Structure 1
Amino acid sequence: MSINLHSHAFAGNPLRSKTPKSGDPFSPSQALGTLKTRLLDSGHVAASPDFKVLLFRKGRPLASSSEGIWKLGWIGLWDCKELLAKSGVEMVGDSVVYLGSTAEEDVVYWAVDVSGENGLVPELGGRRSSFVELRTLMVATDWADEDAMGQLAIAGHLSNGSLHDIRE
């Protein structure tokens, strides 16, 4: 049986399809400025846009599985900051990589490489999450599910190192 795909498995990343203009709050530079401001603020202010973070380690994104269906392990900004702090890691603006945004959902997505942080693994195990190799995610993906394919494309961009790094 052959599979007829209309595009490459990593094409169609929903976060990389549109690049906002530089003055847009969803643009990489504006979003980074907002993120740095929020990280310095000790309060947990729910403001627009929302920030989601995906941890990755040695090219493997954080993922969780429920009933054989996997999903990427997106973490809210404050939860991520607290999780990293428990492991002795301070989350700062220089440690994040811009992945993209979805203005329709009012969310900006970030990635943080935690390859050197061994203390996170036990904490993530308690959350039923782990760092999963891309090939494993590909096998566990429902290729007919458009959202799952979009998540696979995001994981593919993480794994092959084609992240939009805006750090200067």
Structure 2
Amino acid sequence: MSRTAILIGLLVLAAGACGDDGGSVDIDAGTDAPRIDAPIDAAIDAPGARRCGATGTGTVNGTVMGAAITPVMRAYQVTTPGQGTAIVIDETGAGCTPATTGEHLALLLCAVPTVRTYPVVGEQAFACPSTNSFGLVEQNGGSDFAESTGGTMSVADVSGGCTAGTFTINYMNEQLTGTFDAYVCP
């Protein structure tokens, strides 16, 4: 499946499904992968009750082609069943939809993340199903700006409605490093 198809599916879900009005999570049979079709514990989903807060947090160090993703204002995770998951680290906006201005980093995965280290690959090598990830810098509402060429993304914790980890992503002769504690969108 192409990166574009995953992004389109994620953006459609994000446009209609995110907010602070409750949500859902379930466990797929035989996996620890959260789903979006069963209630989340109300105590976890209350605004500000999650470890990562109501918008998530993160850091991005470095620049790509002169663009910096700073200051980070939010980090969130959106999943489209059967399409993939994106962890987005954004310098503007709130909620679970892409900002219409500025830059953001989208870490794309084929499935809901689990605690592990994922290789970051280039666009041509990113295909689902796999355990690879892909790092895409976008700007001004979703225009592709820079595509990863390598690196790693390590997920350290998936709990309490948040996904936390670190990344080192290569872009030709440049590199972004940082952290995320992403709010898992309902």
Structure with greater helix share of residues: 1
Q: Greater Rg, structure 1 or structure 2?
A: 1
- Give TM-score scaled by structure 2 length: 0.26
Higher relative contact order (CA 8 A, sep 6+): 1
